[in-house]
Amino acid sequence: MIAGLLGGAADISPGQVVLQALDWLPLVDLHSGLAPVEQGLLYEIRLPRVLLAAVVGGLLAVAGAGYQGVFRNPLADPYLLGAAAGAGLTATVVIVLVPAGVVAVPVAAFAGAFGGVLLAYALGNTAGRSGGTATLVLAGVAVTSFLTAIQSFIQQFKVEELQRIYSWIMGDVSGGWEQVRLVLPYAAVSSVLLLLHGRMLDVLSVGDEEATSLGVRAGRVRLAVLLAASLATAAAVAVSGLIGFVGIVIPHVARRLAGGSYRIVLPLSLLGGAAFLVLADVVARTVIAPAELPIGVVTMFVGAPFFVGVLRMTRRSAP
């Protein structure tokens, strides 16, 4: 987050940035020596951007870990399962048809995220178990393509706002304090619910019959985690647009570092996703400065090769 505050076109001393950041903490009174304009730039532009990137990254990563636990599939991801596309479609409908419907966007995005996952899951089940590990992901890709096509069609009704919609599709965390305040309640609820179900997901990983014998109601646990992960995805998409691969990269890194227990993977994914997206935003802001790359482009550059590697490892480990 300090790196996020330091990155930008304005040339501000790193030492002064650190002092100013410490001055924002409760019960801390420091003088950074920054001019009021520079203080305003840090507080009104960089700080909310860093916080929004951290919240969105954490939500996408912890949602990805939750989906992987529910479906027992290492390739499950909000972006690939159709959750992000479903949330993006319904959010776009609200933006186009209800110009003042800011509050309705997260609600609509949640419905779309949940519907997208259910559609992908139902489509994947039609292939039966013979489809292998990648069946669910292939179903998610199909659902994502279909929902994205509908979204592109709806966008044509707002041709004058295509640039803004395009920026939203490619990912954007520059929404300011309004977006931070909007996403925080949803982030708190979904994150707490997912973290509380870490032990239950560990039990489910051994199989439904064994989980039932231990007193765990597998259906209820899956529904609760699915709802919480969809809420996290919807909240992230509603304020930042479509940002791919965070939910598959970070949980796998967490497993490499700390093993497969979801009691550890979920909180590590939350923190790792926050750090990853903040750093991705720093790269997006600086690599072609003074212009900016869409943050979704940066995550795709990292996530696409990573996904190929995970797919190859999954195929090698398959019986």
Tokens describing residue 70 = 């529910």
Q: CB of 207 within 8 A of CB of 52? A: no
Q: CB–CB of 82/302 below 8 Å?
A: no
User: Is-contact 24 12, C-beta < 8 A?
Assistant: no
Are 75 and 306 contacting, i.e. CB atoms less than 8 angstroms apart?
A: no
End-to-end CA distance of the chain: 43
Could you read off the pLDDT tens digit of each residue along the chain, which spans 319 residues?
888 888 776 778 888 888 888 888 888 888 878 888 888 888 898 999 999 999 999 999 999 999 999 888 877 888 878 888 888 888 788 877 776 555 677 778 888 888 888 888 888 777 655 445 567 778 888 898 899 889 888 877 776 666 666 776 778 888 889 889 989 999 999 999 999 999 999 888 877 777 777 777 888 888 899 889 988 988 888 888 888 889 989 999 999 899 889 999 999 999 999 999 999 999 998 888 778 888 988 998 988 888 787 777 766 555 4
Two tokens, residue 23: 């001055």
Write out the DSSP string of 84-148: HHHHHHHHHHHHHH-TT-TTHHHHHHHHHHHHHHHHHHHHHHTT-GGG-TTHHHHHHHHHHHHHH
Domain ranges of the chain: 2-317
Q: Is 259 left (phi over 0), alpha (psi -120 to 50) or beta?
A: left
The superfamily (CATH) of domain 2-317 is: ABC transporter involved in vitamin B12 uptake, BtuC (1.10.3470.10)
Q: Rounded CA gap, 147 and 79, in Å?
A: 12
How high is the pLDDT of residue 277?
Answer: 96
Query: 65, 71, 60: which is closest to 173 by C-alpha?
Result: 60
